[in-house]
Chain A
Amino acid sequence: MSLNNEKKQAEKTLVNSVIQGNTPAFGMIIKHTEGLVAQIVFRMLRNTEDRKDIVQEIYLKVFKNLREFKFQSKLSTWIARIAYNTCVNHLEKQSLVLDDSINPAQTAPQYSVPEEHIFRRELSIILNVEIEKLPPLYRTMIILYHHENLGYIDIAQVTGLPVGTVKSYLFRARKKLKENILAQYKQEEL
């Protein structure tokens, strides 16, 4: 039996156990997925007060809808999708735009690579700030791809967008992030 099948079987056992009334087993599901859920919630929502309520709402939804999970994707991807949708609904309630301020036709300023050691040190500081400036959808996609190592298909399942759209959004998001960081770096240099 392959590792993937073993994982799938373990997930099935865990999910069925929760459905049959073993509520503490749900704690294991939370432990396995809280990192991914945190990434999505923290990247989508800036307000720290909201995050706690949203995380609770996400897992209560997961528990309520666990019977609907048909094992067509990984359990973590399914939970990530619930987390993403819950955050989107929350942002929509607050009338915030998910993918604002993107102009793909914009031309990028060209900067040379600064001294690498200085750049690396400053990059991590600037990166945190600049990632936060990206629209929620873009920063979530970047984090899911580069930090959580999710593939395009997984991100498409989480966001409910076509794979082509995910690729295109990710390309734009990376480009915008790189431009913003270089612009910021240049500004600090002056």
Chain B
Amino acid sequence: MTPIHLSDTEIQLYSLDKDNCGLNITEHIAQCESCATRAKNYTLLFSAVEDMPKPVIDFDITAMILAALPEHKKSPTLSDRLVYFVSFAGMSLLGILAWFLQKDLSRIFDSVTSMIMYVLLIPIVGILMWECYDLYEKYKKQMNVLN
């Protein structure tokens, strides 16, 4: 047996893991009442800490956090980017054409009679209205599926 008492670190090592703390520590504690008492204090302390009730968050943390999260910004896919690019290129082309042909365009509209204008406008407006209605119906169906 070691003639001097064990250090606090050694006592803790013994209380945490009796089997792997070293033979000299185990032997000393087996023969020394004072060190055995100190080890017992630690063992009681550790088991008391383990038995302590766990703190509980007394509010619905998940709901609170999910409500506070920023909306996810979906990054555009490759096909989305292609659509944006083609649309932009098309609009630019139309703009450039309109700029170069502005005199000719005004001449065309001056020469068109109001009768021809109505003949052109009525089907265009009709088609546009039909497309809008069709889009709305599709949207409603999709929402029903999602719900």
> Chain A: residues with CB nearer than 8 A to chain B?
21, 23-24, 26-27, 30-31, 34-35, 38-39, 42-43, 52, 55-56, 59-60, 63, 108, 110-113, 116, 119-120, 123-124, 127-128, 131, 142-143, 146-147, 171, 174-175, 177-178, 181-182
Contacts and interface: CB of A to CB of B under 8 A. Distances in A.
Interface of B: 8-9, 12, 34, 37-38, 40-42, 44-46, 48-52, 54-57, 59, 61-62, 64-66, 68-69, 72, 74
A120 B50 CA distance: 13
A146 B51 contact: no
A146 B49 contact: yes
Prevailing SS type, chain B contact patch = helix
B41 A113 contact: yes
Given A113-B40, A178-B42, A30 B48 contact: no
Contacts of B54: 35, 38-39, 147
Contacts of B42: 174, 178
A178 B45 CA distance: 7
Given A113-B41, A113-B44, A55 B69 contact: no
Contact of B59 (A52, A63, A124, A177): A52
A26 B74 CA distance: 16
Given A21-B74, A38-B56, A147-B52, A120 B44 contact: yes
A175 B8 contact: yes
A39 B55 contact: yes
Contacts of B74: 21
Nearest to A48: B58
A159 B41 CA distance: 28
A103 to B, nearest CB: 14
Nearest to A107: B8
Contacts of B34: 110
A78 B123 CA distance: 63
Contact of A123 (B38, B40, B48): B48
Closest 4 CB pairs of A and B: A21-B72, A42-B55, A146-B49, A59-B65
Contacts of A63: 65, 69
B52 A124 contact: yes
A116 B45 CA distance: 12
Contacts of B41: 111, 113, 178, 182
B136 to A, nearest CB: 26
Nearest to A174: B12
12 contacts: A27-B66, A43-B55, A55-B57, A123-B45, A124-B52, A127-B48, A142-B49, A146-B49, A147-B50, A171-B12, A177-B45, A181-B45
B65 to A, nearest CB: 4
Contacts of B9: 171
Q: Name the residue among A24, A26, A63, A174 with the largest chain B CB count within 10 angstroms.
A: A174
B66 A127 contact: no
Given A23-B72, A108-B8, A174-B42, A147 B62 contact: no
Given A42-B55, A120-B48, A171-B8, 8 more contacts: A24-B66, A27-B65, A38-B55, A55-B57, A56-B65, A113-B44, A127-B52, A174-B45
